[in-house]
Amino acid sequence: MKLLESIPEPIFEILGLIIGFFVCFITIVQIIKEYKSKNKSSLSFGYVFGWVFVYLFWSIYGLRFGALALLITNALALSIQIILCVIVFRKKRAVYVEN
């Protein structure tokens, strides 16, 4: 643990931002795939809505403890995840309407 303690906090904040933005990028790639695909979504409601709660919790955690990297990246990821939820919901609803 001495190795981790030797790393300055600003380095962790910067790495947290980089990793957090990377997660947002991955979700954006999934949004683009879902949006362009004419097929029904293979993502389950539990999966996409589950991540909403994960990102919401970590956003609140970041706010509560003043962890800027957690707050910024998870609030952004929460917004992006909600967009993915809307797309998946619309696609699944369209499949149910057709049947």
Q: Where does the chain have alpha helices with state H?
A: 2-6, 9-36, 45-65, 68-98
Q: Which of 14, 30, 35 is nearest to 94 (CA)?
A: 35
Q: Residue 61: pLDDT band by 50, 70, 90 thresholds?
A: very high
Query: At residue 23, does pLDDT exceed 80?
Result: yes
Contact predicate 80/24, CB 8 Å: yes
Q: How many CB atoms neighbour CB 99 within 10 A?
A: 5
Q: What is the pLDDT of residue 95?
A: 63
Q: What is the mean pLDDT of the chain?
A: 91
Q: What token pair was written down for 3?
A: 């190795």
pTM of the full structure: 0.85
Q: How far apart are CA 9 and CA 77, in angstroms?
A: 22
